[in-house]
Amino acid sequence: MLTRSLELLAPHLQELRTRLIKAFLAIIVCTSIAYGFSEHITRLFLAPLFQASPLISKLVYTNLPEAFIAYLKLALLVGLVTSFPVILYQIWTFIAPGLKTNEKKLTTVVVFWATLLFAAGAAFAFFAVLPRMLHFFISYATQNLIPLPKFEGYLTFVARTMLAFGLSFEIPFLMVMAGKAGFVQAGSFRKKRFSFYAAIVVLAFLLTAGDFMATAMLAIPLFGLYEAGIFLTALFGAGTKQHSLLP
């Protein structure tokens, strides 16, 4: 019986291995390209900091390998972001054999919208939220308290913020996927609306490090995305057999 089960699982495990290898290669390629442009990306990331305060015109690093490690980490995070469509495509095509023919045709649409949401979240973080956060943090500077941001710490902060916001904007996509899998119904999302709103506020507060203005700037669009997710879950989940995990 065990041998038979392993034989049945073998093709799926091989398919999973192939998809993981392709996703990993995409990350390596994108990271390598990003490392080649690391200085240009760094200048782009430094611009909001220099614009936020005239007190800051340079960054420092205190350990000799720190600059190299900072560039490497930045390239890896940018590589993860830019390879996101490929990773998502591999995940979706691994699930696709269990879907109907008409649902398999949605692969391109799913990858496109999920990537667009991710890019929108990252752009929103960089152009709208990050400047507000930097002004907030630098407002604590005084004549006796001079900000001296570390090179690695700042680049990691910007990249992680953009990554976190990009993933947060995937809320509608994740809701639709949960609905298509039959785990949750759109009605459950409606009934638990205010509980999810509270969770969104807490998430936004943590992601923006306690800046109330930035928290509002993130929470408000996430509320709208949550409502869009309810609508899309009801639209695409219609006609599927549901076994909701939420009461």
Three-state secondary structure of the chain: CHHHHHHHHHHHHHHHHHHHHHHHHHHHHHHHHHHHCHHHHHHHHHHHHHHHCCCCCCCECCCCCHHHHHHHHHHHHHHHHHCHHHHHHHHHHHHHHHCCHHHHCCHHHHHHHHHHHHHHHHHHHHHHHHHHHHHHHHCCCECCECCCCEHHHHHHHHHHHHHHHHHHCCHHHHHHHHHHCCCCCHHHHHHCHHHHHHHHHHHHHHHCCCCHHHHHHHHHHHHHHHHHHHHHHHHHHCCCCCCCCCC
Of all residues in the chain, the percent with pLDDT exceeding 90 is 12
Across residues 9-37, what is the average pLDDT? 87
Summarised one tens digit per residue, pLDDT across range 99-143 is: 566 555 666 777 788 888 888 888 988 998 888 888 888 888 887
Across residues 169-196, what is the average pLDDT? 78
Q: Using the predicted structure, report yes or no on whether residue 200 has a pLDDT greater than 70.
A: yes
Q: Using the predicted structure, report yes or no on whether residue 236 has a pLDDT greater than 90.
A: no
Q: What is the pTM of this model?
A: 0.75
pLDDT given for residue 239 in this prediction: 44
Q: Which of 7-16, 79-88, 142-151 has the lowest mean pLDDT?
A: 7-16
